[in-house]
Amino acid sequence: MPANLPPQYFEAERRFREAKTDEEKLGALKQMLAIMPKHKGTDKLQADLRRRISKLKKAAEQRKKQKKGFSIVIEKEGAGQVVLIGYPNVGKSRIIKSLTNATPEVAPYPFTTRQPAAAMMPFDHIQIQLVDSSPITSDYLDFWMIGIIRNSDAVILVADLSSDNPVKQVDGVLKNLLESKINLTREEKETDPRDGIAHKKTMIVGNKAEQDRSGEKFGILKKLYGKAFPIICVSAENDDNMDSLKKEIYKLLGIMRVYTKEPGENPDFDDPVILKIGGTVKEAALEIHKDFAYNLKYARVWGHAKFDGQKVEKDHILQDEDVVEFHI
């Protein structure tokens, strides 16, 4: 018996052929099944469609399970958490080895680091937490990396200036992460619940700069990404520019250090209060104790105020390395 399929069926079949995602394919197959007249002549076709639908559904469920997987949470410590990401073998672990006293495995072959690992980088009276991670390429991303990046305060995207194409390394990571709803950007922005995209403050580091003698590769990277991101070149191996890298990491976090002092005593430079840039006297007091902030009458500020020991109100905006004396 001929199948006698209506034109809408062929329309749905065309949509199936042109579908880019499994979800679209599934939708088109379901339509084909719904449109198809149900009689003996279409029995085989119906069975075939049902089989294809069930296969796609199973694949989608499998993907969901994999995405859920287990997640890894790295407890935050210090003034901020920054995760280093990038293609395999670019020197992420080597950079962390230079900046902290951790001893991650560094090796001349790709996919050395398979688990995230945190280490503390001392920087001018504070500690910043760096997280080493497993490699990302244009088509490889360990699913737990998504949580690590989303949870971090900032990202360092490392590229290898001794490789043929560091631009491809940056581009591949940006694209892959965007597919997982992570947008690496210069400016911090809240996640819009309508699209669920996390915007992460990012800087680019071109490593192995000593292999890029003429600076040609870094020049190309800078030309392409220098407007969209802070960008710096270093050689972790030769310890070139690593102090500037530390400063840039601090800047990337958008934080400031506020030292506190008791009346008549010297400031405590060892344990500053960490605030977001633009933080006020009241916010600094809140970091110490809720009641303290509530009872605060005024403060005196040394540093960027008009004059040393200037009396200021609770809403006075502080600056990096100001010294504050609270009065309750």
Ligand X SMILES: Nc1nc2c(ncn2[C@@H]2O[C@H](COP(=O)(O)OP(=O)(O)OP(=O)(O)O)[C@@H](O)[C@H]2O)c(=O)[nH]1
Please give the residue ranges that form the binding site for ligand X (CB under 6 A).
Answer: 88-94, 106-108, 110-113, 135, 162, 207-208, 210-211, 235-237
Determine the length of the chain.
Answer: 328
Residue 149 to residue 191: CA distance in whole angstroms: 14
The entry of Mg ion, ligand X, none near residue 135 (CB within 5 to 8 angstroms by kind) is ligand X
**Of 132 and 322, which has the nearer Cβ to ligand X?**
132
CB 119 within 8 A of CB 111: no
Shortest distance, position 90 Cβ to ligand X, whole Å: 4
Residue 102 to residue 118: CA distance in whole angstroms: 9
The entry of ligand X, Mg ion, none near residue 111 (CB within 5 to 8 angstroms by kind) is ligand X
3-state secondary structure of 292: helix
The entry of Mg ion, ligand X, none near residue 91 (CB within 5 to 8 angstroms by kind) is ligand X
In sequence order, the β-bridge partners of residue 120 are 129
**Of 101 and 266, which has the nearer Cβ to ligand X?**
101
Other CB atoms within a 10 A radius of the CB of residue 282 amount to 16
3-state secondary structure of 149: helix
The entry of Mg ion, ligand X, none near residue 202 (CB within 5 to 8 angstroms by kind) is none
Please give the residue ranges that form the binding site for Mg ion (CB under 5 A).
Answer: 92-93, 112-113
Residue 242 to residue 123: CA distance in whole angstroms: 12
The entry of ligand X, Mg ion, none near residue 211 (CB within 5 to 8 angstroms by kind) is ligand X
Residue type, 153: D
**Of 212 and 325, which has the nearer Cβ to ligand X?**
212
**Of 130 and 273, which has the nearer Cβ to ligand X?**
130
Q: 110 vs 117, 124, 134, 162, CA distance in Å?
A: 17, 34, 10, 14
**Of 158 and 198, which has the nearer Cβ to Mg ion?**
158
Shortest distance, position 241 Cβ to ligand X, whole Å: 10
CB 173 within 8 A of CB 135: no
Residue 236 to residue 221: CA distance in whole angstroms: 18
Tokens 């099944």 label which residue?
A: 33
**Of 81 and 93, which has the nearer Cβ to ligand X?**
93
Residue type, 240: D
Shortest distance, position 66 Cβ to ligand X, whole Å: 21
Shortest distance, position 76 Cβ to ligand X, whole Å: 22
In sequence order, the β-bridge partners of residue 257 are 274
Pairing of strands 231-233, 268-276: unpaired
Residue 96 to residue 93: CA distance in whole angstroms: 5
Shortest distance, position 209 Cβ to ligand X, whole Å: 7
**Of 197 and 242, which has the nearer Cβ to Mg ion?**
242
Shortest distance, position 142 Cβ to ligand X, whole Å: 11
CB 249 within 8 A of CB 282: no
Shortest distance, position 228 Cβ to ligand X, whole Å: 22
